[in-house]
Amino acid sequence: MSARPSWITRHFSPWFSDPWRVRLLRVLIGVTLLAVVWAAERYGFVGQVAPEPPPVAWQPEADSPPPPTDLAATDDERAEAEAPTLAEASSLTEAPSGAESAPRAESRGDRDSAGSAAPTASRRSKPTPQAAPRPPPPTADPLVIDGLSLRDSSGRTIYRGQIDLAPTLERIAAGRRLRFPNDGTTFQNRENRLPRRPPGYYREWVVPTPKEPGPGPQRVITGDAGEVWYTSDHYRSFRRIPTEIRIR
């Protein structure tokens, strides 16, 4: 009577009898070994020894007594050991310290860092734009009179605006006269609206009014001393002009 084959023989004998199954088994074993080797190289858990923990410094327990002291040393000995000698005390009081007597020398690293920080600060700092200086306000011309409202003898408004006395004063200084009969004649000052002067001291000149063919209400009164007066309402009121003129 033959022996009954074992469980291993009955289940694994077909694998070893078939050459293709044996080859497949070899391939699987090789792939498994390659995977184990790759995992060992990748994660480094093969052949490494766990590092030892760092030593822990001993610390006394809370309830442990303080270390023993030298009971033989007295208070006087400890005071003498801690107190400086007389020579040391005199040297400390007389000789100035090195930090006070000599300025602290800058290290090379400080100079290099300061030198490198200076261009950086100059690059970062941007010059603030400065506003252009404003030109001074134009001064008012004393020979230009603004806001005039001229009326004729009947009270009708014939002109509104400004009057420039410069052309009239230039004409007077040059000795030129207009075609009007009262231009350059003596002003009597009968109403005494101007300072009293001897007869013949004042002379009147016609100031032409724009778009007015006649002499109009404007006059310039000059004095022998060079003073100039202006009236825009035909001698009713006068204003002093801050200039002087000499008549040829």
Distances (CA, A) of 158 to 65, 132, 148, 182, 232: 120, 45, 11, 21, 12
133 Cβ neighbours under 8 A, 6+ residues apart? none
Q: Is 100 a catalytic residue?
A: no
Q: Is 227 a catalytic residue?
A: no
- Which listed residue (82, 94, 100, 204) is catalytic? 204
- Which listed residue (170, 227, 234, 244) is catalytic? 234
238 class by beta-carbon count within 10 Å (0-12 exposed, 13-18 middle, 19+ buried): middle
Q: What span, in angstroms and rounded, lies between the C-alpha atoms of 210 and 216?
A: 9
CB atoms within 10 A of CB 134: 6
Beta bridge partners of 161: 148
- Which candidate, 163, 224, 165, places its Cα nearest to that of 194? 224
Give the DSSP letter string of 17-78.
HSHHHHHHHHHHHHHHHHHHHHHHHHH--SS--PPPPPPPPP---TTSPPPP--TT--HHHH
Residues with catalytic roles? 204, 234
